[in-house]
Amino acid sequence: MPGGIWVYAEQKDGKLKKVTLELLSAARKIADEQKEELCAVLTGRDVAGLAGTLAEYGADKVYLLQSEDLENYTTDGYTSAVTALVREHQPSVFLLGYTVLGRDLAAHVAQRLDTGLFTDCVDVRLEDGQLVFKRPIYAGKAFFEGVCPEARPVMATVRPNVLPVNPPQAGRTAQVIEVNPQPGSIRQIIRDVVRQVSTRPELTEADIIVSGGRGMKGPENFRLLEELADVLGAAVGASRAAVDAGWAPHSMQVGQTGKTVSPTLYIACGISGAIQHLAGMGSSKYIVAINKDPEANIFKVADYGIVGDLFEVVPLLIQEFKKLKEQG
C-alpha cells in the first residue's frame, strides 16, 4: 500500500488553522478515490490534543511530532523534521496551506526531496489517475493547470478559504503515531516575536473584509472601517495608496503586491479599483463598492455599488448591520 495522502496540519497557538480543515476535506476525497490512507502531520509543542479534531475531519492517521525545538516555527527545524518523516513513509501526495508558514516549509521540503511543488492552488482534482493542480497566475488574470508526472510525493500549497470544509464526523478516530522528531541543527535563532494584538480574523482567512483606500482621507478614519469590521466580525484591508500614505501597515495591503484574499464578502470603501488592486480581491464571492465617483472602475466588478460619500454611507451601514444583529 502506498504511503498515503498527506496533509500538513498547521496550528497556531494550539488551534488548527481553517485551511487545515479545508485540506483534509479535499484530501479525503482523493484518498478515497485512490484507496489510500489520509495522514495528517502535526508539529509543535503540546499539540496532541488536536489529533481528535483531525480525525473528525477525515484523518486516518496522525503523525505527531512534538518537541521543544518545534515550539516556534523555524525553517531549518521544521524542514528537517518533516523531510525525515516523508522519507521514511513515502507518501504519494503532500498538501499544505499557502500560508506564511506553509509556503516556506513546502518549498524547502520539496527541494530536499527533489520533487515538484505547485503553489497557491485553488483546486486539485484527479483525472485519469493523475492529480491536476489549478492555480492562478498573473495575480488571477489567468489560470494554469499542471501535473507532476514522476517525482513523488507531488506537493502543493493550497490557498486558504477556497476549498469547502466537510462537516466533522463526531466520534471518528485516527491512529496517532508519536514520532521522535529530528529537527537537526537549527540556524535560525528567534530573538524576538512581536504580536499585533487583534481580535479580528487574519485577512487571508477572513470571511468578510472591509477595505479602505485613498478615499479614507487619513489614518484616523480607518477607525470607521474598524467599527464596521467589528460589527461584521470582519478583517480590515487597504489599498496600496492608503498603505503608501502611511494610513495602514503593509500587512493590510490587498493586491498584486499585497495579499490575495478570497472572502465571501469584500466591502471596498473609497477604492478606485486599479488593476493591481482587483488582482488581489477579484476572486471574492461578493464585492460591494462605496465610491463617490460613478465612473470608478471598482463598479465594473462590484455586485452591489453605492455611489456616495463613504463618510455618510459607512456610519449608516454600521447602524443598519447593528439593527440586524439586534434582531438576531
Ligand X SMILES: Cc1cc2nc3c(=O)[nH]c(=O)nc-3n(C[C@H](O)[C@H](O)[C@H](O)COP(=O)(O)OP(=O)(O)OC[C@H]3O[C@@H](n4cnc5c(N)ncnc54)[C@H](O)[C@@H]3O)c2cc1C
Q: Does residue 43 bind ligand X (CB under 6 A)?
A: no
Residue 225 or residue 271: which is nearer to ligand X going by CB? 271
Q: Which 285-304 positions form the footprint of ligand X (CB under 6 A)?
A: 290-293, 296
Given CA atoms 25, 29, 31, 32 in this order, what sign does their dihedral have? positive
| Total chain residues near ligand X (CB under 6 A) | 27
Q: Select from 29-37, 58-66, 93-101, 219-227 the region that touches another protein (CB under 8 A).
A: 93-101
Out of 16, 209, 271, 317, the residue judged to bind ligand X by CB under 6 A: 271
Out of 3, 44, 153, 280, the residue judged to bind ligand X by CB under 6 A: 280
Q: Which helix (H) or strand (E) holds 254?
A: none
Q: Which 192-221 positions form the footprint of ligand X (CB under 6 A)?
A: 213-215
Residue 164 or residue 171: which is nearer to another protein going by CB? 164
Give me the half-sphere count of Cα atoms (radius 13 Å) on the Cβ side of residue 217: 9
- Could you tell me whether strands 154-158 and 93-97 are parallel, antiparallel, or unpaired per DSSP bridges? parallel
Q: Does residue 299 bind another protein (CB under 8 A)?
A: yes
- Of 45, 81, 66, 74, the C-alpha closest to 193 is 74
Q: How many CB atoms lie within 10 A of CB 273?
A: 22
Cβ 96 to ligand X shortest distance, Å: 24
Q: Which residues contact 220 (CB under 8 A, 6 or more apart)?
A: none
Residue 174 or residue 248: which is nearer to another protein going by CB? 248
**Backbone φ/ψ region at 270: left (φ over 0), alpha (ψ -120 to 50), beta:** left
Out of 239, 260, 283, 284, the residue judged to bind ligand X by CB under 6 A: 239
Q: Which 165-204 positions form the footprint of another protein (CB under 8 A)?
A: 187-196, 198, 202
> In the 8-state DSSP scheme, what is residue 68?
G
Contact 298, 291 (CB under 8 A): yes
Out of 229, 288, 289, 310, the residue judged to bind ligand X by CB under 6 A: 310
Given CA atoms 124, 127, 132, 138 in this order, what sign does their dihedral have? negative
120 binds, among ligand X, another protein, none (CB under 5 to 8 A by kind): another protein
271 binds, among ligand X, another protein, none (CB under 5 to 8 A by kind): ligand X
Q: How far is Cα 225 from Cα 311, in angstroms, rounded to an integer? A: 10
Contacting positions for ligand X (CB under 6 A): 213-215, 239-242, 253, 255-258, 270-272, 274, 276-277, 280, 290-293, 296, 309-311
